[in-house]
Chains A and B, each alone.
Chain A
Amino acid sequence: MDTPTTYFHWGFIFISTPNLLVIAGMIVLFAIALVAPFPHAEEGDDGRNK
């Protein structure tokens, strides 16, 4: 816990490994949210205010 973290260095990109992992996880989660089936999705109305 007290040791310094490692850094990812690619061109002008310089980011710590924990931050890189968080951002990668967010991108994966976002992609899953786009494609994963949502329960009862077909039961909604047409979106018009009544």
Chain B
Amino acid sequence: MAATSSHEGAVATESKSWTLRLRQMIDRHLPMDHLLPDRQPYYVGSWVYVFGVVTIAALVWVVVSGVVLSFFGPQWWHDSRVGRFFNGLHFWSVQLFFIFMVLHLWGQYFMAGWRNGRAATWMIGVVIFAVSILTAFTGYMSQQNFDAQFIAINAKDAMNAAGVGAFFNVLNFGQMYGLHIMLLPIGVTILVVLHIVMVRTRGVVKPIDPEGGVRP
């Protein structure tokens, strides 16, 4: 930024600043009362809307237990009592993540959650689902047990038949583990943050026929 002696000069310089423009854009599109609202529309008063946030809670446990597992390694998670506990915690939090993600998907599908400019939010949700399946799959490859070997040996032909065997070698533990603990979780986390920001920007979609509904 160029040095200026007057306040007017500083303002003129700041108006060209990308940080100022970014701040103004965030203020315009995502004010804090939208990002962290303390009240919700009356139609959000249903347990169906809780499925999304339970999915996020499960994801937090997936990441926390996964970080602990990555610190101590396969021998620890197979042989020690605490390691097996964290292995189980990681596995069952993934089960809950998928169960509640699908329940959230059902809820959004039946209320047509893509309406009124929310198509991108819906599509990012679909991509999160796909990337999560890939993450879970590489997780099964990373267990370092006979189960992982069985799945890898059976999956390699499917990968080759799909034409991705040269890039995605399920028999390569290092590749599967690297994808599972680094690239794919970062992808899921970024997409989930984007998904939440988009939901907060637009707000929750209204019921399909709000005029016909009776307010409780």
Contact = CB atoms under 8 A, between A and B. Distances in A.
A36 B83 CA distance: 38
Contacts of B102: 26
A32 B47 contact: yes
A35 to B, nearest CB: 9
B135 to A, nearest CB: 19
Contacts of B43: 44, 47
Contacts of B40: 44-45
Most buried by B among A30, A34, A47, A50: A47
Interface in A22-50: 22, 26, 29-30, 32-34, 36, 38, 40-47, 49-50
Task: Name B's interface SS.
Answer: helix
Contact of A34 (B41, B48, B203): B48
Given A41-B216, A45-B39, A47-B203, A22 B46 contact: no
Nearest to B43: A47
Contacts, number: 58
Nearest to A39: B45
B42 A41 contact: yes
Contacts of A32: 47
A41 B171 CA distance: 52
B45 A36 contact: no
Interface string A1-36: 000000000000000000000100010011011101
B41 A41 contact: no
Contact of B47 (A38, A47, A50): A38
Nearest to B41: A47
B41 A30 contact: no
A44 B47 contact: no
Contact of A26 (B33, B99, B206): B99
A12 B207 CA distance: 36
A47 B51 contact: no
Contacts of A47: 41-43, 203-204, 206
B118 interface: no
A49 B11 CA distance: 31
Given A26-B102, A29-B103, A33-B50, A38 B45 contact: yes
10 contacts: A26-B102, A33-B48, A33-B50, A34-B48, A41-B216, A43-B42, A45-B40, A47-B41, A47-B42, A49-B203
Interface of B: 33-34, 39-48, 50-51, 99, 102-103, 106-107, 203-204, 206, 215-216
